[in-house]
Amino acid sequence: MKKRLFIAFFLLTSLVNAQSGDDNVIVESQGDRTIEPAYRIGITPRILDTIIPTAIVNYPLLSLKYETSTEVDQINPASIKTVDKLPKLYSSYVKLGVGTELMPLGEVYWNSKRSRKYVYGAHLKHLSSFGNISGYAPAQFDRTKFNVFGGINERRYTLRGDVHYNNQGLHYYGASDTLDLLKDSIAQRYSDFGIAARYASHIKDSAKVNYNVGLAYNNYLSKKPERDEDRDWRARENYFGITSGAWYKYGKETYAADFNIRYNGYKYGIADSSFTGLDSGLVLNNTIINLKPSITTYLQDNRFKAKIGMDLVLDAHTQTKVYVYPMAEVKYSMFNDIFIPYVGVRGGIEQTTFRSLTNENEFLLPNIELRNEKTPIDFYGGIKGTLSKRISFNAGISFANIRDKALFVTDTLHSVGNKFDVIYDTMNVTTVEASIAYQLQEKIKIEGIGRYFSYSALNNSYAWNLPRMQFIVRGSYSLFDKVLFNLDVNLEEGRKALVYAPGDDITQENGEYILNLGFIADANLGVEYRYNKRISAFVQMNNIASQGYMRWYNAPVQRFQFLGGVTFRF
């Protein structure tokens, strides 16, 4: 095998060498090659294609029959209820009752019936008590109120007017009954007479300016001394006020301005003289003039509202000064008034009068100093809205700086501790407030309010007699429009009083004697049964928990009270 392979390799090598040589080999020979003759093809060219036929599929028509039915609902003919006359109105309402502690009640309303143009009426109410509070001086009181009002309604204007007279008698009962104080020596009576009128235009033409003007006068007096020669030694106060405003709407902006003049003249006794060694005359004239311009704009289909302005005030009291206070507010309606966030800043002056102070604390001395309350700045913000068509809410917070804030403290210089004096202080007040209300037509109404106050006074340890926390619940329920229930609950906590001597439950702080006034829990329940549209009977229960809490230091309230009576309409 090896020999055969070697011989083949040798021959192949020799052949390659022979072909790759330089010698050329030429071969010449003769032969006969036959070429066939050409001819023309007489057929026209064409395209030959194969067509594959498509199978025809037949679908049979299915015959389906559905049973249908038609029903025609009967449409009741429209009915129109014709009312020959509207429900009858009664022009008079009388409420008569009597309660524990010999407490008579009388109330009368009289007013106009339906009228497009005129409205008028009168209201008279009397409530008194001949009872006492155990362990304290005589505590009888009486309150009588009378008011007459009237008005004219026209297409382009309205005119209103009213006259009122209030008479309140009381006793400074905040002293121990062991002192055997005579009733006349601790008696006080306030007389309040006033008259007011207001005119307001209602021009619908946007090119016109609308305006209003109001006038008011008020006379306020304390008890007259027994001797005629001492008739000047009583608190006398005369108030006169002019209020006015104008507004003009141009495009999306409303331009407005208020101009007010308020004068209050307070006088006790004769100036620069004294009635007793501790009772000196006091005369104070107080005038406040303020101009308040503002611009209000509405954007985004009235969902966005912005208001900006200022309050320029002239305060002519013991000194004449001019103040400028800010006024700005922004609010935006979200989700069709479901949520309305708001934020703003404000300020101003509130006129302090003897009438306003005694309406808050009726146990005041008749000779007190009066200072106007000033709020240079008050930042506030929050959110309000509706959770449903029956539930509404509001939650907000404010930070205010208040100067000359009136605080009530027990007087030991002119009394035996059964009267109050007024001191003034500068403080920062933080207020957090939340409220929620539910209403189901006229059947159920419920409202809850919660407030938290934080005070930082400049010269006092606490804001005397002011609460730190307050909760208010009000509600009414109508059972078949036959039985009506009314509930009113007031809870307060954190009130402290300034006293001038150590004693039980009295602490000392910063050189001041402090008494915690305790917790207020006052709940009142009323029930009314309507015999028919004209006659009903009622029961009113006050201070259900029978808490003898102190509204002021040494001034506890009456415990459980029961009041019942009847009402008439004619």
pLDDT at 345: 96
Task: Compute φ and ψ for 360, nearest 5 degrees.
Answer: -90, -40
Query: Strands, DSSP E only, in 269-372?
Result: 274-276, 279-280, 282-299, 304-316, 320-332, 339-350
Q: Which of 275, 276, 277 is nearest to 231 (CA)?
A: 275
pLDDT at 497: 92
Cα gap 46→22, rounded to integer Å: 57
Any residues with CB less than 8 A from the CB of 499 and at least 6 apart, and which?
410, 506, 513, 514, 515, 553
pLDDT at 355: 95
Q: Which two tokens stand for residue 207?
A: 């090119």
Task: Compute φ and ψ for 19, nearest 5 degrees.
Answer: -75, -30
pLDDT at 20: 46
Cα gap 199→544, rounded to integer Å: 45
CB distance 545 to 523 below 8 Å: yes
Q: Model confidence over 334-392: pLDDT tens digits?
A: 988 889 999 999 999 999 999 999 999 999 998 899 999 999 999 999 999 998 889 99
Distance in angstroms between the alpha carbons of the first and the last residue of the chain = 151
Residues of the chain with pLDDT under 50: 15-16, 18-22
> At 433, is the secondary structure helix, strand, or coil?
strand
Q: What is the pTM of this model?
A: 0.80
CA distances from 115 to 90, 120, 134, 148, 349 (A): 13, 10, 52, 18, 40
For tokens 């106050």, name the residue.
Answer: 453
Q: What is the DSSP string of 530-541?
A: ESSSSEEEEEEE
Q: Which of 125, 141, 182 is nearest to 557 (CA)?
A: 141
pLDDT at 542: 92
Indicate the residue type of 221. L
For tokens 């060219």, name the residue.
Answer: 45
Q: Which of 171, 174, 167 is nearest to 188 (CA)?
A: 171
Q: Which two tokens stand for residue 279?
A: 């009772």
